[in-house]
Structure 1
C-alpha cells in the first residue's frame, strides 16, 4: 500500500484521474447512450445505424493536432488552456443536444453529435499531450494507468448511469445533467499543475505539421515501430472481439454478460491498470512490456478452458478477471511506451499519430474472427488467438530491449535540423 501511495500520490499523477474522466465522459453521449435515446423515440433503425459515423473525428484527429501544438491560448498555458476551451465547448454542445429531439430534428441532432465528437477528440489530443509533457520518466506508467481509470469511470457515468437515469428522468434532463458535469470538469484542469519544463512551441503551422513527422521518421526503424504499435496488442484485440457472442453461445444470460463481463470486467481492468502502473515504476517500461506481452497472450487460454468446461460461473469469472487484469497491465505499459516516444515540442501531433495506428488494430482485428470461430470452434479459436501476440513479442528485442535505455523521444535541436532541410 505504501508503494502505491508513493507512485499514485503526487499531484501530477492524481490530476490525470480528473482529466481522464473529462476525456471519457463525452464518448457514450454520442454512441450507445444517444442510440438508446433515439430508439426510445422510435427513430428508424437505419438512421440509428448511420449515426455511428458521428465518431469519425476520433479517427481523424491527427489532421488538426498540429494546430494545438502551434498555438498557445492566452491563459493557463499551452496545454491546460486548450483543455479548458474544449471542456467549455463540450458543455455547451451537450447542453444544445439536450434541447434537440432525435425524432423531430434528426439532422440537427446529427450535427450536434458530430460537434461533440470533434470537441471531444480535440480534448483527447491535448489531454494526451499534457500527460506526456507533465509526467517525469518514472511516472509515465502511473500516469497512463490513472488516466485510463478516470476514463473508464466516465464511461460508466455517461453510459450505464445515464441510461438508468433515463428510466426516471426525461432524456433532455439526463443530457442537461451531463452538460453540467462536463462543465465541472474545468475544476480538474484548474487544479492540474503546469508542466515544469518550458517548451518552445513550433513557430509556424508548417513547422507544426512537418516537424513531428520529420522528427519521428528520421529515427531508424520508424516504419517498423508503427508496425510494432499496431501489433503489440493484436492477440488481445482478436480475443476481445468475440467475448460477448462466446458467452451468450455458452448459455449465459444477457444479465450474466452485463454483470460479469461488463461490470466485473471493468473493475478488473481498473485493478490491472493500477497494478501495471505500479509495476512499471519498479521495472521500467521496457521490461514491463515484455512481462505484460506474455501475460496478455496466455490469459486468452482461460477462455479456451471455459470453452472446454462449458457453462460454469466460476470459470467464467476467473477467465474474465484474468483477461481484463492482464489487458489492463498491457495497456498501462503500452500507453507509457508511446508517451516516451514523443518529442515535447510536438506531443499533440505525434501522440495522435501513434494512437491512430494503434486504433487500426482494434478496428480490423475483429473482421476475421467470426470466420475463424466457424472454422475452428471456440476452444481452438482462443488457443489460436495466443499466436496473435507473437508478432509484437518478436519485435520487442528491437524496440523495447530488456536491458535497453528508455528515452523520451527526440531533442528540439534535431527537429530544427530536419525542418531546415
Structure 2
C-alpha cells in the first residue's frame, strides 16, 4: 500500500515536472517567437524606410536625411531651407505635371519648412524619373505612392514637361535667327547690291545708319523690362508682335527693288531693323531669365550662332539664290522664315513665366514707380566699381573690324568679283565659319577663365585682318585666297564675339537683365558705328590699304590691352 502511494506520488511529481518543463519550453518558444516577430517587424520597417528613402531620393541636394520619417521629425538647416525655397518655384514650373501641381497646392502653407523641403524632394524625384529611360514611369509612380499623390499616367504630358526644360535654348536659337535676317541683308547683301548699281563708297558707308535702332534700343529697353502680359508671357508679349511686324516689312521690301525705289527700300530696311532690335531686347531678357550661371557659355554660343545663322541666310544664301528667285523671292523667303519662327513662339510656353510685372489686372504698384525702380537699379548697375572699364572694353573690341568689314565687299567688287559669288563666299561660307567660331568661343568661355579667353580670341582675331591688309597691296589674287581669308576672318571674329558676350552677361545685374544687357549691347554698337559710318568716306581718301591698315592697328592694340582692362571691369 505504501509502495503504491509512493509510486503514485512519484508519478504525480513526474507529471508536475513534465508539465513544468513543457510550460517552460512553451514559454521559451513563445519568447523566442515574440523576439523573432519583433525583429521581423523591425526589419520590415527598416526595409520599408529604406525603400521610401530610395524612392524619395533624399540625397537630392546632398544634405537631406536617409528616410522620409526622419525628415518629418528634424528641422532642416537654414541654409538648405533657403536653397529649397529659392529653387522650388522654378523647378515646379519646369518639371511638374498638372496633377502633381494640384496636389502640392493642397499641402500646408509654403512657408512651412518641412513641406517646402518635401516638395523639393518630390520635384527632384520626378525630374530624375523623367530623364530615366523607363517607359513605364516606375519611379514616378513610386514617388506618387510615397506621398499619397495621384498616380500620373505615362503620357504626352511627361514628354512636354521634360521638353520645357530643354526648350529655352531651342527657342532662343530660333529667335536669334530671325533677328539676324534683316541685319545680314544690310551688312552683306545691301552693300553688294548698292555697289553693283554704282553707288559711291561714302553712300554705302553711311547706309550703316539704317542700323540706328540697334544703337538706340536702350532707350526703350526699360519699357520692355517693365511692361508685359502675365497671361501671354512677359517676354512673348513683345516678341510675337515684333515678329509679325517684321514679316510684314519683309513683304513690303519685296516690291521696292533698289534700281527703282531706293529711298523706299532704305526706309523699309530701317523699319525691319527697328522691329528686330526691339525683339532683341525681349529675347535678351528671356535669355537672362532662363539661363543659369553654368549655362552662359552655351547660351551665348546659341545667341551668337543663331544670330549669325540668320545673317548667313539673309545676307548670303538668299543673295546667292537671287540669280534664280529674284529680288522678290529674296524677301518673300525671309518673310516665310519669320512666320515659321512666329508659329514656334506661339506654340512654346514661355519658360518660368507666370506673371509679368506690368500685368494691369494684378499690378498694384503704379507704373511710374516701377519704372523708376527699373531705372534706379540700372543706374546702380552702371555706377558700380569697374563699370566704366567694362563699357570701355565693350565699346572698343570691334573698332578695328568696323573699318575693314564694311569696305571688304566693295573692295572685292572693285577687283572684279561678282556679287552673287560674294554672297556665297562672304554671306554663306563666311557666316558658316563665323558660326563655327561662335561654337568654339562658347567652348572657350565655358572651359577657360574668361579674361584669358578674351586675350586668346583677340590675338587670333588680328591674324586674318593682317591678311586682308596684304591682299589690298596685291594687284591680283584669286578666289581661293579670298575664300580662305574670309573663312579665317569670320571664324576668329565669331570666337571673339561669343567670348565677349559671355563676359558681358557674366557682369549683368539680373534684376534688370534685359535693360542692362541691352545697354552693354548698345554700347558695343555705338562704339563701332562712327568708324563704320565713316569707313566709305575714309576709303575714298586713304584708299583700301590705308583704312585696312588702321583697322589692323586698332585690333592689335585692343588685343594687347584686354587682359589688364578686363580684370578691372
Q: Into which bin does the TM-score normalised by the smaller protein fall?
A: 0.7 to 0.9
Residue aligning to 2:507: 341
CA contact (8 A) 2:180 2:308 kept: yes
Judged with a 3 Å threshold, the aligned counterparts in structure 2 of structure 1 residues 307 and 215 are, in CA distance, closer, same or farther, namely same
- Separation of aligned partners in 1, 2:302 and 2:274: 24
Deviation at residue 126 of structure 1 after TM alignment: 1.0
Q: Please, which of 217, 227, 236 is the counterpart of residue 80 of structure 1? A: 236
Judged with a 3 Å threshold, the aligned counterparts in structure 2 of structure 1 residues 85 and 297 are, in CA distance, closer, same or farther, namely same
- Separation of aligned partners in 2, 1:308 and 1:287: 33
Deviation at residue 277 of structure 1 after TM alignment: 0.9
Between 274-283 and 51-60, the greater mean CA deviation after superposition: 51-60
| 5+ residue gaps, structure 1 | 1-8, 400-421
Alignment of 1:20-99 (within 5 A): 20-27=176-183, 53-98=209-254
Deviation at residue 73 of structure 1 after TM alignment: 1.9
Any idea what the Cα deviations from partners look like across 1:17-75, whole Å, max 9, x if unmatched?
A: 211112112335677767889999x99999x9797654432221111111111111244
Please say if 1:386 is aligned against 2:556: yes
Any idea what the Cα deviations from partners look like across 1:246-299, whole Å, max 9, x if unmatched?
A: 6678x6745775554443322221111111112222224343223222322345
Residue aligning to 1:362: 528
SS at match of 1:185: helix
Please say if 1:215 is aligned against 2:380: yes
CA contact (8 A) 2:227 2:234 kept: yes
**Residue-pair matches, total:** 388
Residue aligning to 1:287: 452
Judged with a 3 Å threshold, the aligned counterparts in structure 2 of structure 1 residues 311 and 388 are, in CA distance, closer, same or farther, namely farther
- Separation of aligned partners in 1, 2:465 and 2:394: 20
CA contact (8 A) 2:441 2:496 kept: yes
CA contact (8 A) 2:172 2:303 kept: yes
SS at match of 2:235: helix
Judged with a 3 Å threshold, the aligned counterparts in structure 2 of structure 1 residues 303 and 340 are, in CA distance, closer, same or farther, namely same
Residue aligning to 1:311: 477
- Separation of aligned partners in 2, 1:213 and 1:221: 15
SS at match of 1:328: helix
Deviation at residue 93 of structure 1 after TM alignment: 3.6
| 5+ residue gaps, structure 2 | 1-164, 359-364
TM-score (ref. length: structure 2):
0.57
Alignment of 1:218-367 (within 5 A): 218-240=383-405, 243-244=408-409, 253-254=417-418, 259-303=424-468, 311=477, 316-366=482-532, 367=534
Between 270-279 and 115-124, the greater mean CA deviation after superposition: 115-124
- Separation of aligned partners in 1, 2:333 and 2:240: 19
- Separation of aligned partners in 2, 1:254 and 1:164: 10
CA contact (8 A) 2:425 2:483 kept: yes
Residue aligning to 1:419: none
Residue aligning to 2:310: 154
Alignment of 1:402-417 (within 5 A): none
Which is higher, the Rg of structure 1 or of structure 2? Answer: 2
- Separation of aligned partners in 1, 2:275 and 2:172: 19
Judged with a 3 Å threshold, the aligned counterparts in structure 2 of structure 1 residues 390 and 11 are, in CA distance, closer, same or farther, namely same
TM-score (ref. length: structure 1):
0.74
Alignment of 1:142-221 (within 5 A): 142-163=298-319, 166-169=322-325, 171-172=327-328, 174-190=330-346, 194-196=350-352, 201=357, 204-205=367-368, 206-207=371-372, 210-221=375-386
SS at match of 1:131: helix
Judged with a 3 Å threshold, the aligned counterparts in structure 2 of structure 1 residues 115 and 311 are, in CA distance, closer, same or farther, namely closer
Judged with a 3 Å threshold, the aligned counterparts in structure 2 of structure 1 residues 292 and 164 are, in CA distance, closer, same or farther, namely closer
Cα RMSD of the aligned pairs, angstroms, is 4.3
Between 162-171 and 265-274, the greater mean CA deviation after superposition: 162-171
Residue aligning to 2:290: 134
Deviation at residue 140 of structure 1 after TM alignment: 1.4
SS at match of 1:213: helix
CA contact (8 A) 2:297 2:446 kept: yes
Between 89-98 and 75-84, the greater mean CA deviation after superposition: 89-98
Judged with a 3 Å threshold, the aligned counterparts in structure 2 of structure 1 residues 74 and 172 are, in CA distance, closer, same or farther, namely farther
Judged with a 3 Å threshold, the aligned counterparts in structure 2 of structure 1 residues 114 and 294 are, in CA distance, closer, same or farther, namely closer
Between 130-139 and 234-243, the greater mean CA deviation after superposition: 234-243
